[in-house]
């Protein structure tokens, strides 16, 4: 009985802890550790000033009231005092600027990394390309894996609600990982609090940051720069694993890539290509154009019954490949293979009320890219 | 002849006729001040309703009320309406009422321009609020309207751009008016360094406005041409740079922050000495501190952009410049405290709001210092910590100072005392619910909750619940303020106020004018000894 109560209490306090986190997350990199300590030092200084300043203020409110008969004095100038209370804060500031500067020099030093990974922000997911070091050549997209009915309240929310993805970024423990950041459409930001990392991903530019995780585990973050509709739904998950596990992961990824490679000259039939297109649609298009193809009135156009989708195929291929300027329609040619683009176009042209009966072959996409 | 010249003639009888045309055509600084204040309070309520819609969605994890894209419209419009519709016009309203009264001038220098600068605002507000009803809804790119997200938006963005242009023009005209009035129309004997501090802070604020509103206009014009005329200022594919938008925006945006707080400092610097019955401590250092804050505000803008990936030298420069602001701001707080020290204080509602201001604004200053330290900012940038910080300085700072100013001067404006008991209730409810709303957001930010998200992970649930409860309490408390304000102004209730209801108040409006101040005041210049 006592044991059960104890366990229940423990569970309760753990739940409370989960719902009320008071401080920065436990750091797992040196940079995050430095930030954690810097914040503690700053809070200490602030607390001392707070107590000093407001101690004086509340004492004065208590003692120098008219209602207790305190008579006002008339002093209103004192150069010496003014100089002192300008200089003391100045010295304190120099005191904190020094460790902050050292920390900045450290966190900006992205040289001599073991592994380089490019992270690309898309509306609304992340793409990872392993550019250098062990795992070079691996490339995948990382989508939110929380089911829609958890978000809309149809199902109970899981433990890692909104902080879980289908394909996490995997890195080895203790290695310096340099992350190159860029974006495909608008500005995103790549943030993993446990690493002390946050870097904007800017379309058309490449910026970098780095981390060296000192502990294995799964670390979670979110996009930190407003990037449109699903800004709140593009989490970042980094799995830090041992060197052996990392090597196994790399081998597995390479095999997957080889197996998934499509024969670009294959002739597809309608049913197979449509089935594949449905998956591509669910991963890339559904956020705006919706599962029923109706879009969102005023914001995102409907595909069901759309003139474009039922019209000449060339125009639709051009928009899917190159995007539409001035709208949220991204150029998917950069993200998707010829087969995927062909599949998703075939799907939209033969689904809902659209019945063109056309099959778009990957070879057509290849020539449309030129 | 002498029978015609009646020296006892009461000029306050030169009132225009009643009705709507009085307000449309008025060139009287008091009428225009009143218009500004009612306009800004209306916008405060509109922006407040948007805030409550945000907090309702965030009460619990999951999507309950709004689609994500509408949620983004709510946060964006809440910001734009509060900054450009509520806080800025409210301070201009105070300037209109108080600057002529405090320097002994009969009116503002450019009376017709004054009318025009006000009447542009309802037009702009209509465009801005009306943008909710165009296809695609209002802009959802955040109040900072960062490119290239803002180039993706629908026609709501264009309406917002036009609204901002009009509001900017209004601000510039208002500032020209204020500067001209202050520099040319002071009573004989009132040298610059004898001006009340409220007048000083507005003089400096007006210069800031003239310097940076055109910068904002430039940024949003470039945005407009990027959207519609094929330019590529902020599009890398055409040789532009999205980060340049942020540099230009924040070159406007940081001085803008001080535009919203310096006049508040001015109000507090009038209220604290009046209720301490003791002259302001360190008058000239207050003036110099205000001026140095204004100058520094031009060289710290990139601390809003520490995560864009600046060169190390740039980061260090902006970090050092930013922490320097703590020095003049500290001087101000110390001066206020020393003014209170060994005074003979009483705590009517204006003083409560002023002391409350010092307490909560200083906390906002502390978190500002934390955010200025770049490595810590890496963790906190774009999280709820930033949301907490700027609401501490803009709500507990600017808004509380506006409340202090209202309770302080409303006897002079209406000739009646506000309901003291309700005023105190308003203060305590606002103070408590403000902190219930925004204090937990510090913890949310430290834990890593990004701002501007409609739904959040379960670990953020507890504090969000508390914040939402506080927000509704804070919102409802402002209904009480509406009632207090209606009672003393429109309904004309409350005991009659004497010429100088506050024992320690010693500026011209208290020493030379009856309450209410006559419609035309200072027909003859007062002379200062």
Other CB atoms within a 10 A radius of the CB of residue B7 amount to 5
Over residues A315-320, mean pLDDT: 89
Select from B186, B373, B196, B322 the least CA-distant residue to B270.
Answer: B196
- Is residue B254 among the annotated active site residues? yes
Q: Does the pLDDT of residue A125 top 50, yes or no?
A: yes
CA distance B433 to chain A (A): 19
| Residues on chain A touching B73 (C-beta within 8 angstroms) | none
A to B CB pairs, distance under 8 Å: 304
Is residue B87 within 8 A of residue B260, CB to CB? The reply is yes
State the pTM of this model.
0.89
Token pair belonging to A279: 């998956």
Is residue B22 within 8 A of residue B46, CB to CB? The reply is no
| Residues on chain B touching A163 (C-beta within 8 angstroms) | 457
* Residue ranges in A108-235 assigned as alpha helix (H): 148-151
Instruction: Give, in order, the Cα–Cα distances in Å from B57 to each of B28, B52, B453, B470.
Output: 44, 9, 10, 14
Is residue B78 within 8 A of residue B54, CB to CB? The reply is yes
Select from A142, A132, A236, A219 the least CA-distant residue to A173.
Answer: A219
CB contact (8 A) between residue B278 and residue A74: yes
| Closest residue to A19, CB basis, from B338, B452, B459 | B459
- Burial (CB count within 10 angstroms: exposed 0-12, middle 13-18, buried 19+), residue A71: exposed
What CA–CA distance (Å, rounded) separates B494 from B499?
15
Predicted local confidence at residue A259, as pLDDT = 76
| Closest residue to B142, CB basis, from A104, A204, A226 | A226
Select from B199, B331, B339 the least CA-distant residue to B272.
Answer: B339
Predicted local confidence at residue A297, as pLDDT = 78
Predicted local confidence at residue A190, as pLDDT = 97
Q: What is the pLDDT along chain B (529 residues), one digit of tens a residue?
A: 334 444 444 444 566 667 888 899 999 999 999 999 999 999 999 999 999 999 999 999 999 999 999 999 999 999 999 999 999 999 999 999 999 999 999 999 999 999 999 999 999 999 999 999 999 899 999 999 999 999 999 999 999 999 999 999 999 999 999 999 999 999 999 999 999 999 999 999 999 999 999 999 999 999 999 999 999 999 998 999 999 999 999 999 999 999 999 999 999 999 999 999 999 999 999 999 999 999 999 999 999 999 999 999 999 999 999 999 999 999 999 999 999 999 999 999 999 999 999 999 999 999 999 999 999 999 999 999 999 999 999 999 999 999 999 999 999 999 999 999 999 999 999 999 999 999 999 999 999 999 999 999 999 999 999 999 999 999 999 999 999 999 999 999 999 999 999 999 999 999 999 999 999 999 888 988 6
Select from A330, A319, A142, A179 the least CA-distant residue to B148.
Answer: A330
For B354, phi then psi, to 5°, come to: -70, -45
For A126, phi then psi, to 5°, come to: -110, 145
How far is residue A133 CA from its own chain's centroid? Answer: 23
Query: The tokens 């801005």 sit on which residue?
Result: B128
- Catalytic residue, from B303, B389, B416, B426: name it: B303
| Residues on chain A touching B149 (C-beta within 8 angstroms) | 186-187, 226-228
* Residue ranges in B373-419 assigned as alpha helix (H): 374-380, 384-393, 400-414
Give Cβ neighbours of residue B341 (< 8 Å, ≥ 6 apart). A56, A60, A64, B281
Strands A188-192 and A207-211: unpaired
CB contact (8 A) between residue A202 and residue B340: no
Which ipTM value was assigned to this complex? 0.90
For A171, phi then psi, to 5°, come to: -140, 155
CB contact (8 A) between residue B378 and residue A226: no
> What angle, rounded to 10 degrees, do the helices at A79-107 and A30-63 form?
160
Paired strand residues for B383: B450
| Residues on chain A touching B458 (C-beta within 8 angstroms) | 18-19, 157, 159, 161
Does an H or E element contain B51, and which? helix B29-57
What CA–CA distance (Å, rounded) separates B230 from B214?
22
- Give me the DSSP letters along B102-164: HHT-SS-S-HHHHHHHHHHHHHHHHHHHHGGGSTT-S--STTTT-TTTGGG--HHHHHHHHHH
- Catalytic residue, from B36, B143, B384, B413: name it: B143
Give Cβ neighbours of residue A259 (< 8 Å, ≥ 6 apart). none
Q: Using DSSP, state whether B382 is helix, strand or coil.
A: coil
Other CB atoms within a 10 A radius of the CB of residue B501 amount to 17
- Catalytic residue, from B76, B139, B150, B329: name it: B329
CB contact (8 A) between residue B462 and residue A227: no
CB contact (8 A) between residue A162 and residue B456: yes
Ramachandran bin of A326, using left for φ above 0, alpha for ψ from -120 to 50, beta for the remaining angles? left
């Amino acid at each position: 009985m006592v044991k059960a109560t104890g366990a229940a209490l423990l569970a309760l306090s753990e739940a409370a802890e989960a719902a009320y986190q008071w401080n920065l997350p436990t750091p797992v990199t040196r940079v995050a550790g430095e930030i954690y300590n810097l914040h503690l030092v700053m809070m200490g200084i602030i607390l001392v000033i707070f107590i000093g300043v407001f101690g004086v203020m509340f004492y004065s409110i208590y003692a120098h009231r008219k209602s207790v008969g305190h008579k006002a004095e008339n002093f209103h100038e004192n150069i010496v005092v003014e100089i002192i209370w300008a200089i003391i804060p100045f010295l304190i500031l120099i005191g904190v600027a020094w460790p902050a500067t050292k920390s900045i020099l450290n966190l900006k030093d992205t040289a001599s990394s073991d592994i380089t990974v490019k992270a690309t922000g898309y509306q609304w997911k992340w793409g990872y390309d392993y550019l250098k070091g062990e795992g070079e050549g691996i490339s995948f997209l990382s989508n939110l894996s929380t089911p829609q009915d958890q978000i809309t309240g149809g199902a109970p929310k899981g433990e890692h609600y909104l902080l879980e993805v289908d394909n996490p970024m995997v890195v080895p423990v203790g290695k310096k990982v340099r992350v190159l950041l860029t974006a495909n459409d608008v500005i995103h930001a790549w943030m993993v609090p446990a690493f002390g990392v946050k870097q904007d991903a800017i379309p058309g530019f490449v910026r970098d940051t780095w981390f060296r995780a000192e502990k294995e585990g799964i670390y979670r973050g979110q996009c930190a720069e407003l990037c449109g509709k699903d800004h709140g739904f593009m989490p970042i998950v980094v799995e830090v694993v041992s060197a052996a596990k990392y090597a196994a992961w790399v081998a597995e990824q390479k095999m997957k890539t080889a197996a998934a490679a499509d024969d670009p000259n294959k002739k597809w039939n309608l049913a197979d290509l449509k089935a594949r297109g449905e998956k591509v649609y669910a991963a890339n298009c559904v956020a705006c154009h919706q599962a029923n193809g109706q879009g969102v009135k005023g914001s995102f156009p409907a595909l069901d019954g759309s003139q474009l989708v039922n019209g000449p195929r060339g125009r639709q291929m051009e928009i899917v490949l190159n995007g539409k300027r001035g709208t949220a329609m991204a150029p998917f040619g950069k993200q998707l293979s010829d087969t995927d683009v062909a599949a998703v176009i075939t799907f939209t042209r033969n689904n809902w009320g659209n019945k063109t009966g056309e099959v778009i072959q990957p070879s057509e996409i290849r020539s449309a890219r030129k | 002849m002498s029978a015609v010249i009646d020296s006892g003639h009461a000029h306050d009888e030169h009132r225009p006729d009643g009705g709507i045309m009085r307000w449309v055509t008025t060139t009287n600084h008091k009428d225009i001040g009143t218009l500004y204040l009612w306009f800004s309070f209306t916008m405060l309520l509109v922006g407040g309703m948007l805030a409550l819609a945000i907090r309702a969605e965030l009460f619990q994890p999951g999507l309950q009320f709004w689609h994500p894209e509408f949620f983004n419209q709510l946060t964006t419009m809440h910001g734009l309406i509060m900054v450009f519709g509520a806080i800025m016009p409210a301070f201009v309203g105070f300037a209109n009422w108080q600057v002529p009264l405090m320097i002994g001038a009969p009116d503002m220098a450019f009376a017709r321009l004054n009318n025009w600068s006000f009447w542009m605002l309802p037009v702009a507000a209509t465009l801005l609020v009306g943008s909710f009803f165009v296809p695609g809804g209002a802009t959802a790119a955040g109040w900072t309207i960062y490119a290239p997200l803002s180039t993706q938006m629908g026609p709501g963005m264009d309406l917002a751009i036009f609204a901002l242009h009009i509001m900017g023009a209004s601000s510039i005209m208002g500032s020209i008016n204020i500067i001209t009035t202050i520099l040319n129309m002071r009573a004989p004997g009132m040298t610059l360094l004898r001006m009340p501090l409220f007048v000083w802070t507005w003089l400096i604020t007006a210069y800031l406005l003239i310097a940076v509103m055109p910068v904002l206009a430039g940024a949003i014009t470039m945005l407009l041409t990027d959207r519609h005329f094929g330019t590529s200022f902020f599009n890398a594919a055409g040789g532009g740079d999205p980060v340049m938008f942020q540099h230009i925006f924040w070159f406007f945006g940081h001085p803008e922050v001080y535009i919203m707080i310096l006049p508040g400092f001015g109000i507090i610097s009038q209220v604290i000495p009046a209720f301490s019955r003791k002259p302001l401590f360190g008058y000239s250092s207050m003036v110099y501190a205000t001026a140095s804050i204004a100058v520094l505000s031009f060289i710290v803008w990139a601390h809003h952009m520490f995560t864009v990936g600046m060169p190390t030298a740039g980061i260090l420069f902006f970090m050092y410049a930013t922490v320097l602001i703590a020095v003049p701001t500290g001087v101000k707080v110390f001066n206020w405290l020393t003014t209170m020290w060994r005074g003979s204080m009483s705590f009517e509602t204006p003083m409560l709001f002023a002391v409350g201001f010092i307490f909560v604004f200083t906390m906002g200053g502390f978190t500002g210092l934390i955010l200025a330290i770049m490595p810590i900012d890496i963790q906190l940038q774009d999280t709820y910590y930033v949301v907490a910080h700027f609401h501490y300085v803009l709500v507990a700072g600017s808004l509380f100072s506006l409340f202090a100013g209202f309770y302080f001067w409303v006897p002079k404006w209406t000739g009646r005392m506000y309901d003291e008991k309700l005023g105190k209730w308003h203060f305590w409810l606002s103070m408590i619910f403000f902190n219930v709303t925004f204090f937990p957001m510090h913890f949310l930010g430290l834990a890593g909750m990004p701002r501007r998200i409609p739904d959040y992970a379960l670990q953020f649930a507890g504090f969000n619940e508390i914040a939402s409860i506080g927000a509704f309490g804070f919102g409802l408390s402002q209904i009480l303020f509406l009632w207090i304000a209606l009672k003393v102004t429109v309904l004309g209730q409350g005991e009659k106020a004497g010429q100088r209801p506050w024992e320690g108040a010693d500026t011209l409006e208290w020493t030379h004018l009856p309450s209410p101040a006559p419609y035309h005041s200072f027909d003859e210049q007062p002379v200062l000894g």
